[in-house]
């Protein structure tokens, strides 16, 4: 049997071995989305980007009592290239702002941001010259967690809410919504 | 101990030693203060340092006060301490806006960073300073934030809105360029940037390392990535509100910060008596705070070196103390429980049993970590002989706390200048002599045991005092009791005025200090008799301790930098403030 004698495999899909019609492939694509969303939601890897007091509560969340591993997020990554979730934990100074933005830019898509605590969400107590009054001036925020600092349960709640949104399949991350969408698509970027 | 007599003799000693170098020597709120001119500053400091009776070998901080519209405008402050004689002295140097001061960084190594900070925040220039750059604000900052004409919310140098991302991108690029150009050594050396986002820098510390292979030739720490402007904000909030800020400064030991601030304010108010019960509760809480701070240090330090399980044990233990925090203050970390005049509330019912329940298991739980680390050959390999700093060097560099005690400096403010009735407690002060990472580890481990001892003693003492006396009865400075608000209109008016106007703290200045978990934590306060401070200077131990990092890491490998940073136990919130 020579190679040349074998017929070219048809580009058209043939019937599945079970004899079911091929059109079911469309259904399979839809459930792949769901499968991917399910996998994304249950293995959100956060970035180790502790800024201030809230970072200590973030560490407490990852430790044994609150055990963030129950929700698949125990793998805190030091490199933004391997992280899905940025937890901005603490006050952001203007000096740190460019670095935080650079970290965000280095994270692969899709990516989410939790703004943890009053300082990150609005500047909180510290309405001073040195502090960014809300990290949403710098990065697109998906979920805000109130508290000063928020309890670990509050952070877990934010994580679960984010998981639900991702699992729903219809959630548009903050970077893909206005005003960030326009900035992302701007030609001079 | 009769502080008055001691201070009087100190005042005479200082004025006799300084002679004509000092314009005046006074005693303000029980603390000796000498005024010198800028010309006489260096001779005066040398005299104070060399004189055998005074021996002011330790410079606690250098700072300034903007007294606009007075002329000359600024007062530069040099706070001195003697680690042998255990007495304090403040030097005041009036400086006009266009005048300069001589640097003292060759006399006291710690002055290097402190003078940079004064230049950054006040714009006072120091002649012949080796490296006078901005330190906490970014290099391209405009203005000097702690001047009175600088608005608390800034000058809008960073407009929020469309341009913000453009601005910060340019800023980031400028920073990168700085590393590449100014810090590069000889051609065969490479410059490595470590941080500000790095898991082992304990926050947002950035180090520019100059490397020869993997050996560190030089290290330049860059701080200020968490600069919050707490000192500026404190001038705009009243005395009682300010308690809230400081827990967020050294966030590993919040109650220590509150205690140091309240002690400083109470020093300004001579007729405010703190009841014994309040003092014992403060001791109890500050020792619990020392333990949680050391537990976070141990957990993260071990995690950095590669011992994961220690982190889990330490945090599990810490949670138990946070539960105690929650019982007294209602929150896990930022309780604002210690207030001016005492504590916010009495200890709740069941607190004593809860503390005893925790205390029963503590020693056992600490032993788990001891068994994992103390004789562990890998741990010793990574820590023994690493990051050595000698005794004299560490005093000269302004290092305090466990770091100094690991280098053989037998000095603890709780014993040597007792506050809050510490003289009634029985505890030992661990001192090691090697001055390396391992001896710092041993000192802190033993400090936790001693803190545990103090907690149990404090519990005994609290039991002997009368319940409900957790706060002073001098209602000029403390809020009215709930019963008084409900029963009388005067009580209601008092309550309203107390929380809206704040308390009028008498004119003057004072330095309040405590032995915090990281070293000498002090608050230097200046009051003009109003409800808001004129100046709050925070002397954070981490700031001075971190400034000695380049001397500790030279000649070591990159991997050792991680161990050394962990052993200094820095909190960037306190370094940058």
Q: Is the confidence at residue B396, as pLDDT, over 80?
A: yes
pLDDT for position B12:
84
Of A96, A98, A148, the CB nearest to B226: A96
Nearest to B316 among A65, A78, A151 (CB): A65
Give B495 to chain A, closest Cα distance, Å. Answer: 23
For residue B180, the model assigns a pLDDT of 47
A148 CA: distance to closest CA in chain B (Å)? 7
With CB atoms and an 8 Å threshold, state whether A56 touches B573: no
Tracing tokens 């403060």 back to the chain, one arrives at B282
| Nearest-CB residue to A94 (from B158, B232, B333) | B158
Average pLDDT over residues B393-410: 91
Do B318 and A60 make contact, defined as CB atoms within 8 angstroms?
Answer: yes
Q: Which residue has the higher pLDDT, B2 or B18?
A: B18
Contact residues for B96 (Cβ-Cβ < 8 A; gap 6+)? B71, B72, B73, B74
Find, in chain A, the residue whose alpha carbon is nearest to that of B318.
Answer: A60
Q: Which of B526, B514, B474, B521 is closest to B498 using CA atoms?
A: B474
- Helices of type H across B216-350: 230-234, 243-246, 254-268, 276-305, 308-329
The residue-averaged pLDDT of B84-105 equals 91
Which among B96, B97, B94, B104 is positioned nearest to B126, based on CA atoms? Answer: B104
DSSP string over B318-345: HHHHHHHHHHHHSSSS----EETTEESS
Q: Which of B14-18, B197-201, B542-546 has the least mean pLDDT?
A: B197-201
DSSP tag of A187: T
Q: How confident is the model at residue A26 (pLDDT cuts 50, 70, 90)?
A: low
Q: What are phi and psi of B51, to 5 degrees?
A: -55, 125
Q: Examine the pLDDT at A187 and tell me if it is beyond 80.
A: no
Asked if B195 is an interface residue toward chain A (Cβ–Cβ < 8 A), one would say no
Q: What is the mean pLDDT of chain A?
A: 81
Which residue's entry shows tokens 């019982």? Answer: B327
| Tokens, residue A100 | 């935080």
Token digits for B87? Answer: 């007495």
Rounded-to-integer distance, Cα B178 and Cα B184, Å: 9
pLDDT tens-digit series, residues A115-131: 999 989 988 888 888 88
List the single residue in B with minimal CA-CA distance to A148.
Answer: B334
Rounded Cα distance between B339 and B324, Å, is 18
Q: Is B96 on the interface with A (CB under 8 A)?
A: no
* Exposure of B318 in the CB half-sphere (CA atoms within 13 A): 31
Say how far apart CA B428 and CA A54 lie, in whole Å. 34
Between chains, do B172 and A102 touch, taking CB under 8 Å as contact? Answer: yes
CB contact under 8 A, B233 and A128: yes
Which stretches of chain A sit within 8 Å of chain B by CB? 48-53, 55-57, 59-60, 63-65, 76, 78, 80, 90-91, 93-99, 101-103, 125-131, 133, 137-138, 148-149, 151, 183
Contact residues, chain B, for A89 at CB < 8 Å:
none
Closest CA relative to residue B247, chosen from B135, B331, B327, B316: B331
**CB-based burial label for B35 (10 Å; 0-12, 13-18, 19+):** middle
Please state, in angstroms and rounded to a whole number, the distance separating the CA atoms of residues B551 and B107.
16
Q: What is the mean pLDDT of residues B228-242?
A: 90
How sure is the predictor about B156, in pLDDT bands with cuts at 50, 70 and 90? Answer: low
Residue B96 CA to residue A29 CA, distance in Å, equals 75
Give me the DSSP letters along A138-178.
TS--SEEE-SSSPPHHHHHHHHHHHHHHHHHS-PPPGGGST
* Chain A interface includes B97 (CB < 8 A): no
Report the residue of A120, A124, A128 to disrupt the B interface, i.e. the one with the largest count of B CBs within 10 Å.
A128
Contact A141, A111 (CB under 8 A): no
Residue B242, pLDDT > 60, answer yes
Tell me the C-alpha to C-alpha distance, in Å, between residue B106 and each of B42, B88, B89, B127, B397: 10, 21, 20, 12, 11
Q: Give A-chain residues touching B169 at CB under 8 angstroms.
A: 98, 101
Confidence band for A4, pLDDT divided at 50, 70 and 90: very low
User: Tens of pLDDT along B459-497?
Assistant: 999 999 988 888 988 888 888 888 888 999 988 998 998
User: Nearest CB to B573: which of A48, A52, A99?
Assistant: A52
CB neighbour burial string for B157-170, b if at least 16 within 10 angstroms, e if fewer? ebeeeeebbebbee
Which ipTM value was assigned to this complex?
0.86
* Amino acid A130: pLDDT: 87
Q: Tell me which H or E stretch contains B29.
A: none
Cβ pair A56:B251 closer than 8 A = yes
**Predicted TM-score of the model (pTM):** 0.89
Angle at B76 between CA B71 and CA B81, to 5 degrees: 150
Strand spans (E) along B498-550:
508-516, 519-527, 535-539
Q: Write out the two tokens for B151.
A: 């608005």
B316 touches A at CB < 8 Å: yes
Residue-level pLDDT at B25: 87
Q: Please say whether the beta carbons of B245 and B262 come within 8 A.
A: no
Give pLDDT tens digits for B159-175. Answer: 444 455 555 555 555 55
Q: Work out the burial of residue B420: count CB atoms within 10 Å of its CB; fewer than 13 is exposed, 13-18 middle, 19 or more buried.
A: buried
The pLDDT tens digits of the residues spanning B308-339 come to 889 999 999 999 999 999 999 888 888 889 99
Which chain B residues are Cβ-neighbours of A65 within 8 angstroms? 315-316, 319
């Amino acid at each position: 049997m020579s190679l040349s004698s074998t017929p070219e495999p048809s580009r058209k899909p043939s019937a599945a071995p079970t004899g079911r019609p091929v059109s079911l492939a469309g259904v399979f694509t839809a459930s792949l989305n769901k499968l991917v969303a399910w996998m994304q939601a249950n293995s959100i890897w956060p970035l180790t980007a502790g800024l201030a007091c809230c970072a200590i509560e973030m560490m407490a969340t990852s430790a044994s009592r609150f055990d963030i591993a129950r929700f698949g997020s125990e793998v805190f990554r030091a490199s933004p290239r391997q992280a899905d979730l940025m937890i901005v934990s603490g006050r952001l100074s203007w000096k740190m702002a460019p670095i935080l933005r650079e970290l965000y830019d280095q994270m692969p898509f899709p990516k989410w941001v939790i703004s943890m605590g009053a300082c990150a969400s609005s500047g909180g107590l510290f309405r001073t010259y040195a502090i960014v009054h809300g990290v949403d001036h710098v990065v697109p925020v998906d979920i805000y967690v109130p508290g000063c600092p928020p309890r670990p349960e509050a952070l877990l709640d934010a994580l679960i809410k984010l998981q639900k949104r991702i699992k729903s399949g219809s959630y548009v991350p903050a970077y893909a919504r206005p005003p960030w969408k326009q900035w992302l698509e701007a030609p001079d970027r | 101990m009769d502080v008055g007599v001691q201070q009087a003799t100190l005042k005479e000693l200082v004025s006799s030693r300084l002679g004509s170098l000092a314009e005046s020597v006074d005693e303000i709120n029980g603390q000796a203060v000498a005024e010198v001119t800028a010309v006489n500053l260096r001779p005066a400091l040398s005299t104070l340092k060399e004189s055998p009776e005074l021996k002011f070998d330790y410079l606690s901080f250098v700072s300034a006060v903007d007294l606009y519209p007075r002329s000359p405008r600024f007062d530069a402050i040099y706070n001195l301490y003697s680690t042998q004689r255990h007495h304090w002295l403040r030097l005041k140097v009036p400086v006009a806006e266009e005048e300069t001061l001589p640097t003292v960084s060759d006399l006291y190594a710690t002055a290097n960073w402190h003078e940079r900070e004064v230049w950054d925040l006040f714009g006072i220039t120091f002649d012949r300073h080796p490296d006078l750059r901005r330190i906490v604000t970014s290099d391209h900052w405009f203005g000097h934030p702690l001047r009175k004409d600088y608005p608390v919310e800034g000058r809008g140098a960073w407009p929020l809105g469309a341009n913000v991302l453009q601005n910060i991108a340019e800023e980031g690029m400028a920073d990168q360029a700085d590393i590449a150009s100014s810090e590069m050594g000889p051609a065969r050396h490479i410059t490595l940037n470590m941080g500000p986002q790095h898991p082992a820098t304990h926050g947002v510390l950035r180090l520019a390392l100059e490397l020869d292979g993997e050996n560190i030739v030089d290290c330049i720490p860059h701080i200020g990535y968490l600069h919050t402007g707490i000192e500026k904000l404190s001038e705009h909030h009243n005395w009682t509100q300010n308690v809230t800020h400081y827990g967020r400064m050294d966030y590993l030991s919040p109650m220590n910060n509150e205690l140091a601030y309240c002690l400083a304010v109470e020093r300004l108010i001579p007729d405010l008596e703190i009841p014994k019960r309040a003092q014992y509760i403060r001791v109890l809480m500050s020792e619990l705070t020392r333990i949680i701070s050391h537990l976070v240090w141990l957990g993260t330090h071990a995690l950095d070196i590669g011992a994961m399980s220690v982190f889990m044990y330490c945090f599990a233990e810490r949670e138990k103390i946070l539960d105690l925090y929650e019982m007294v203050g209602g929150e896990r970390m930022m309780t604002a429980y210690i207030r001016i005049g005492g504590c916010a509330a009495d200890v709740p019912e069941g607190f004593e049993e809860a503390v005893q329940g925790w205390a029963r298991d503590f020693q056992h739980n600490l032993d788990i970590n001891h068994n994992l680390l103390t004789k562990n050959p890998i741990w010793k390999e990574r820590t023994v002989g690493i990051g050595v700093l000698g005794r004299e060097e560490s005093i000269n560099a302004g290092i305090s706390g466990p770091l100094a005690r690991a280098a053989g400096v037998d000095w603890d403010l709780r014993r040597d200048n007792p506050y809050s009735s510490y003289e009634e407690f029985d505890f030992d002060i661990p001192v090691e002599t090697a001055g390396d990472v391992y001896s710092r580890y041993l000192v802190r481990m033993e400090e936790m045991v001693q803190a545990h001892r103090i907690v149990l003693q404090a519990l005994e003492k609290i039991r002997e005092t009368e319940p409900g006396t957790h706060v002073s009865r001098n209602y000029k400075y403390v809020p009215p009791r709930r019963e008084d608000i409900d029963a009388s209109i005067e009580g209601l008016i008092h309550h309203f005025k107390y929380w809206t106007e704040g308390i009028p703290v008498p004119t003057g200045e004072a330095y309040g200090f405590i032995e915090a978990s990281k070293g000498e934590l002090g608050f230097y306060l200046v009051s003009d008799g109003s409800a808001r401070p004129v100046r709050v200077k925070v002397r954070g131990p981490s700031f001075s301790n971190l400034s000695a990092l380049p001397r500790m890491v030279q000649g070591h490998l990159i991997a050792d930098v991680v161990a050394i940073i962990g052993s200094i136990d820095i909190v960037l919130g306190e370094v940058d403030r």
